Amino acid sequence: MAKVKVGLVGCGFAGELHMYAYKRVYGVDAQVTAVAARGDQVLDFAKKHGIRTTHRDFHALLADKDIDVVDVCTPPALHAAMIVAAVQAGKHVICEKPFTGYFGRPGDKTPIGKHVAKSLMYERVMEEMEKTCATVKATGRLFMYAEDWVYAPAVTKIVEIVNASRDKILFMKAEESHSGSHAAHAAQWAMTGGGSLIRMGCHPLSTVLYLKRVEAQARGERIAVATVTADIGNVAACLKPPERPFIHSNPVDVEDWGMLTLTFSDGTKSSVFSGDMIMGGVRNMIEAYTNSGARCSRTSRPTIT
């Protein structure tokens, strides 16, 4: 069996999720042999998961010639620089979402979500993404985005049906929502690069893009995104403190409600929604409407943020 040695960067919430996943990998022997993090908790994390080597410096982990893949589970503002450093060190990269974002630059008035124009944020994010992608391609290393929804049983069933039927997906609506993150950094644009839409909506967005790709391959077509329309807001801002005993989000400069609509080049549509003010645990949902039926997946579970 092929062996892959992984170096994990970060030992927080995302790091725990990734370790849970590595223990369930099949078909390849995936071993997390080192973990890097600045805090003292890295020692307890390594002991808990049986990781033999710990580093306090990310670059020390990159210098380990035995590591094949670097798994980035750090705060979003660090992702792009770590991706570049890892591929230049000859490592393949797995990275948590988001790929990158706008987290502020010297001279920005704070909080940046209220004072920096979104058009400027967009321009600078696109510049950074293009540079990062160019670096990855130049090194020949693999870049792998850590998306989990596309492997959910309900989604894989939709894939199976679309591949067998070669149906046209006419419309999809998808959502990930809950009653708000308990993490303080989720309230700040400078830490997360946005609110509910980037933090949670990225999962259903990735899934609808993936399903249209599956459809295109099954039908021998080329389908791209033609237009994107988005809207965000702070819908819970109107509530007084006594009126929000079950809503955990308290945004500083990010949205607690967001949605976007994709129009594809074949004229079909998809709507993605995400909110930090939805009761009843985590709401994960995707509905795909094809020319011969509807494929639906809805799940709710206790909130873990």
pLDDT in tens, 183-235: 888 999 999 999 999 999 999 999 999 999 999 999 999 999 999 999 999 99
Q: What is the pLDDT of residue 304?
A: 38
The per-residue DSSP string of the chain comes to --EEEEEEE--SHHHHHHHHHHTT--SSEEEEEEEE-SSTHHHHHHHHHT--EEESSHHHHHT-TT--EEEE-S-GGGHHHHHHHHHHTT-EEEEPSPS------TT--SSHHHHS-HHHHHHHHHHHHHHHHHHHHHHT--EEE---GGGSHHHHHHHHHHHHH---EEEEEEEEE-S--S-GGGG-HHHHSSSHHHHTTHHHHHHHHHHHHHHHHHHT----EEEEEEEEE-GGGGS-GGG-SS-----SSS-SEEEEEEEETTS-EEEEEEES---SSEEEEEEEEETTEEEEEEEEE----
The count of other CB atoms within 10 Å of the CB of residue 187 is: 21
Q: Which two tokens stand for residue 293?
A: 């039926």
Report yes or no: 271 and 173 within 8 Å, Cβ to Cβ.
yes
- With the CA atoms of 141, 35, 207 and 138 taken in that order, what torsion angle do they form, in degrees rounded to the nearest 10? -20
- CA 130, CA 145: separation in Å to the nearest integer? 16
Question: Strand 169-177's sheet: what is its strand order?
Answer: 225-233, 257-264, 269-275, 169-177, 282-290, 293-301
Question: In degrees rounded to 5, what are phi and psi of residue 174?
Answer: -145, 155
Q: Which residues contact 42 (CB under 8 A, 6 or more apart)?
A: 11, 35, 36, 54, 55, 56
- Pairing, β 92-95 against β 143-145: parallel
State whether the Cα torsion 190-195-201-205 is positive or negative: negative
Total-model pTM: 0.89
Q: What is the pLDDT of residue 298?
A: 66
Instruction: Please list the ranges in the chain whose pLDDT falls under 50.
Output: 302-305
- CA 126, CA 112: separation in Å to the nearest integer? 18
Closest CA to 170 of 272, 292, 291, 298: 291
Q: What is the pLDDT of residue 299?
A: 59
Closest CA to 201 of 98, 281, 304: 98
The three-point CA angle 210-301-261 to 5° equals 35
- CA 293, CA 285: separation in Å to the nearest integer? 17
